[in-house]
Structure 1
Amino acid sequence: MPIEILLICMLSKLFNMVSWKSIVLTFLHVRILSISLNLILFRCVPKGVDFLKKDGTFRRCRILIYMLLSVFLLSAIILQTGCSWFSSKDLILTVIESNGSEEDRQLQRDCIEEYVQAFENTYEQTVKVQYVKDIPAELSETDVILVGCDGALEYMAGQTVDLSSYFSENQIVTDDYLNTALSLGDTGFGQCFIPFHYDRAVIYADQEIFDRAGVSLPDGEWTYDEFLETLQQLTYRGEDGTRYTGIYMPYYMPYVWKTFLTGLSGVKTWERTSSGTMALSEAAYEDAVYEWNQIYMKGYARSYGYNVRGSDTAVCAMSLTYACSPDQNGRYVESVADLAANPGTNTEALMAENRLVMLPIPSFSGQSVGVANTDFIHGFMVSKESRKADEAAALALFSLSDEGQRILNQYYGGIPVKKSLWEQDFWKTGLLSGASADTVLIGIEQDMRDDYADLLIGDPEIYDKNIRLRTLFSAFLIRDYGDATKTANGITRYLEDFDAAANQTIQQ
């Protein structure tokens, strides 16, 4: 046994990549084989066989046995770690595979292959890519992971490296990058997540409906008062009997809440107070909630759960949604037929007919308000289990280089986080083409997250609690309030219930 332990320690040190789990399994594997060989050689073989004689021949056989054990141990370690002698020097990059079509997955693989090749041409370090369908529970078997912003919360508390300590040696100057993007990667545990692209809430408008109503489209930035006036002008019944309303704006989407409650109250929504709780039902928000609710109560906006003078079947002139993934707007609640009246789910068709116009979120009392789309944003994280932390950090931070930004944008799209690249054209395609590329940047430095992570800064259970708060919000504000009779102040009770349940979760 001492020789076996010595062999395991030596080979583990040599490969520098074996987890404790692999070492223990390998030791058990080898120990069982050793006992079996001894039983065969010294108990089961008949006496008189040459190699059992107690002379030099016996000793040489004993040495041969341990040599065979060493070879077996080597193969067992390789098997346990899934690596080979030559691949042990590779960085392991784990990528969450696209759940789209086979063609889409191939486009993703081509993009990652080009990114890895560019990195290997710049650094003397090879990379092995492994694709997984689901977010792994642990990062012990990888060096770097490319993951969505929502999924990144799973690893921030204890599993990943604070990459800010590698900024200097990789020539990263934070002022060169969109701060509201980088802030998504720091939830109280350091800069553990490096987002390489960005998306945010905007308003999409159908110019044809504006023209029919004789309403002018806003030119650039506009105020909340101008927004309300436009909603009123676009809420009417056409000569053919079609009911029109100003905007499709699902009240139950977090980005809608954050936009209006923050803008109307002047206080950021869903951020932790000095007492460590959420203050959504306190006095600061009471007037804001009432004023926001009046948009629905006057029939100026369409949303699930509201029907004021036929607003539940109205065709909408605008849609408050995300710039790069507008089809998220209402798709989990509304039927396909209902969504046909929502410009946000018809952007491609409207763009093909030159009817689609992107508008910025209106400013509230001179204050810009914006919300990031964390479901869309992706980035890199480095595992604390990595034995090549310097090289792994370089692979992650390569995504912030000009070359890395261009390559990854080919598949992942969105707004580059490196601000000096905003003037270049490589990202100005599809929904971000033309004037939209300028519009989408208006007020971008004031954006907030669209989830509950700001309430959970530094909480080791940030991932699980964020999911619980989403579930509570759905229970109180979609299931319960969605089916309730709507009144001017009817939402207050459900807010209080959600506030109480949410604070209990936050303080657990």
Structure 2
Amino acid sequence: MNKKKWLAGALMVGLACSVLVGCGKKEEQGAEKDGKVTIKFSSWDNFDEGIIKAFEKENPNIKIENIQVADSDYSQKINTMIIGGNAPDVILSFEADLPRFAQSGAIESLDPYIEKGASFDVADFIPAVETIGESTGGNYGLPWAYASEIMYYNKDMFDKAGVDYPTVDWTWDDFKAAAEKLTLREGNKTTQWGADAISFRGMWYSMIGATGDEIVDKEGNLALGEGLVKALEFQNELTNDLKVSPQPTSGDAVSDLFASGSAAMTRTGSWMTMMYKDNEFNWDIAPLPAEERDYNTLHTGFYTIASSSKHKEEAWKFIDFMMSETGQTMTSEWGNNPSALKSIAAQGAFKNPGKTGPSNWETFTESADSGQFGYTLINPSVTTSLVNDFDSYLLGAKTLDEIVEKSIPNAQKQIDKEE
């Protein structure tokens, strides 16, 4: 949710500048004195050098120069490089940037390369990859892995309360009923919450999607309707009526009540399986409870080839390696995220259980089947602003009418302005 917004209108200027003479001196990319071709590859925060070295060992004539940028600055930095004509050959793109890059011509279609022969089968991808390919008019990016949004639960608390563990068939009503039974109070003080507040704030969109709202339509516009109201009212019931979930907090005040043993359930990202490895209590995972449908938001990055690259064939070799069984397995072992290629994910290289959980790894497969990229395809400054308003509703500072009649239209205006 903290990814910087893209510089949409300037992309076309940057692309024109890259092909016209006199738009500024462009940094030379190419072969070094030893005959090797250097490929610039950008990623955020950090990337496993071991995977890069494995590629270079298989391709001794290609050297990878990894450009690492902080997550919070990544989108802005990449857009600036594209505008300046110095885009990396291979860009690991944020979800929100991929459609815009494809539409503007900043990146190449990968379909011609795939058709010539690839180390993977596009039919093996999880459903959401095909969906985003339909929206961009083909495969312009390939996912390095994926993370989903799931539910975590404290098995010890469930056992003590005599509550059955969550299943793939759980609904919002099941979640609410369990939260009521698992909430403990001493007088006016809550000593154990049935469910933590929404600490990963993007979870709001998984709740909205579960009602049937599409979040984002095929044109990249917000598609929030009655489902938004239903999700807000449900979380408000948990928070302010039943008081089985605490008030939302933000900034440095955010605390993980599930990890501290103060909440029986939490809904957050699958990446937290690593953070919870050292929990003292027994715990496990399950898919998010459904309402009108099963839904959760997926998260990833997409390998793309910059249209300005002088070494597209070598860039493709790198991407193809990263999508191969070797590259995907190494990526899963490093990041503990499953491959978006179902056959490779099934091998389980991403599994890294702690002493007390989890064991229900089928949750990942079930979440991949129902997962969509959804809100991550929208400028994060827009979705973050909306979440602030959702939290304000729970805190009594905004009404439902204000969100529906003002917040949503204002968010759409911001999206329109960037086109």
* TM-score scaled by length of structure 1: 0.64
**Pick aligned residue for 1:414 from 313, 331, 337:** 337
Q: Which residue of 1 aligns with 2:362?
A: 438
Could you tell me how far apart the structure 1 residues matched to 2:313 and 2:29 are?
22
SS in 2 for 1:451: helix
**Pick aligned residue for 2:114 from 149, 155, 167:** 167
Could you tell me how far apart the structure 1 residues matched to 2:140 and 2:403 are?
36
**Pick aligned residue for 2:403 from 494, 501, 507:** 494
Q: Which residue of 1 aligns with 2:90?
A: 144
Which digits, 9 at most, give the CA deviation of each residue in 1:352-403, with x for residues without a partner?
x3512112112325x3212113xxx233110111233233223212222111
Could you tell me how far apart the structure 2 residues matched to 1:390 and 1:504 are?
40
Which is higher, the Rg of structure 1 or of structure 2? 1
**Pick aligned residue for 2:62 from 123, 126, 139:** 126
Q: 1:90 to 1:187 in 2, by over 3 A?
A: farther
Q: Which residue of 2 aligns with 1:470?
A: 383
**Pick aligned residue for 1:269 from 215, 223, 243:** 215
Could you tell me how far apart the structure 1 residues matched to 2:317 and 2:29 are?
24
Which digits, 9 at most, give the CA deviation of each residue in 1:87-145, with x for residues without a partner?
6651413233636xxxxx7xx22232123324x17xxx523323333543225443223
Partner letter of residue 332 of structure 2?
Answer: N
Could you tell me how far apart the structure 2 residues matched to 1:470 and 1:278 are?
10
Partner letter of residue 277 of structure 2?
Answer: E
Partner letter of residue 337 of structure 2?
Answer: G
Q: How many residues align?
A: 378
**Pick aligned residue for 2:294 from 359, 362, 368:** 368
Question: Retained in 2: the 8 A contact 1:251–1:303?
Answer: no
Q: Which residue of 2 aligns with 1:177?
A: 125
Q: 1:405 to 1:305 in 2, by over 3 A?
A: closer
Instruction: Give, in angstroms, the shift of residue 222 of structure 1.
Output: 2.2
**Pick aligned residue for 1:504 from 394, 413, 417:** 413
SS in 1 for 2:92: strand
Q: Which residue of 1 aligns with 2:6?
A: none
Is 1:384 the counterpart of 2:311 in the alignment? no
Could you tell me how far apart the structure 2 residues matched to 1:477 and 1:225 are?
21
Structure 1 spans left out of the alignment, 5+ residues? 1-17, 27-79, 100-104, 307-311, 328-345, 455-465
Could you tell me how far apart the structure 2 residues matched to 1:404 and 1:117 are?
13
Instruction: Give, in angstroms, the shift of residue 19 of structure 1.
Output: 8.6
User: % of aligned pairs identical?
Assistant: 17
SS in 1 for 2:53: helix
Q: 1:214 to 1:188 in 2, by over 3 A?
A: same
Q: Which residue of 2 aligns with 1:290?
A: 233
Question: Retained in 1: the 8 A contact 2:285–2:363?
Answer: yes
Could you tell me how far apart the structure 2 residues matched to 1:251 and 1:98 are?
22
Partner letter of residue 113 of structure 2?
Answer: Y
Partner letter of residue 370 of structure 2?
Answer: Q
The CA RMSD over aligned residues, in Å, is: 3.8
**Pick aligned residue for 1:318 from 265, 279, 283:** 265
SS in 1 for 2:67: strand
* TM-score scaled by length of structure 2: 0.76
Which digits, 9 at most, give the CA deviation of each residue in 1:475-500, with x for residues without a partner?
5344x5465358xxx33323432112
